[in-house]
Amino acid sequence: MKIAFTSSTGEMIDQHFGMTSAFTVWEVEADKAEYLKTIAVEDNDSDEEDRIMSKAEAIADCAIVYTVRIGGPAAAKLVAKKIHPMKTNEPVPVSDAVARLQEVLQGNPPPWLRKALNKGNTPSFLED
């Protein structure tokens, strides 16, 4: 599954979702993980809702986004797009977050994570 990280360097999760200028995207599976790309985002829109939506659209194919912080309205918009926000509350190396996620995937993932694993693979009439 594709995972986005709010990162200024590509190595640390160190940005607030609403303030990030780039997302580092990885493909993460239980037994392997690889960096895919960096997506630069610009805050040209003066309206906060437009900025949130443009960031959500930039990572629309990701199942999870890791970020240091995210506001409630932004988190709700991501969830509505079937992107699960994960807060770290402090800077964390991307590699550590990937390793922890892989550990969970190797065990018995919680229901929300099993659903995220199937993002884009389930017919829409079966999702709810």
Each residue of 70-106: pLDDT tens digit?
999 999 999 999 999 999 999 999 999 999 999 999 9
Angle at 6 between CA 5 and CA 8, to 5 degrees: 120
What are the boundaries of each domain within the chain?
2-123
What distance in Å separates the CA atoms of residue 126 and residue 93, rounded to the nearest whole number?
36
The confidence score (pLDDT) of residue 33 equals: 96
As a residue count, the chain comes to: 128
Task: Tell the residue number behind the tokens 């190595």, with chain if given.
Answer: 11
What distance in Å separates the CA atoms of residue 15 and residue 9, rounded to the nearest whole number?
10
Query: Tokens at residue 36, please?
Result: 């895919």
What distance in Å separates the CA atoms of residue 105 and residue 116, rounded to the nearest whole number?
11
Q: 6-46, pLDDT tens digit by residue?
A: 999 999 999 999 899 999 999 999 999 999 999 998 876 56
Please name the amino acid found at residue 127. Answer: E
pTM of structure: 0.87
What distance in Å separates the CA atoms of residue 57 and residue 104, rounded to the nearest whole number?
27
Instruction: Write the CATH number of the domain with boundaries 2-123.
Output: 3.30.420.130
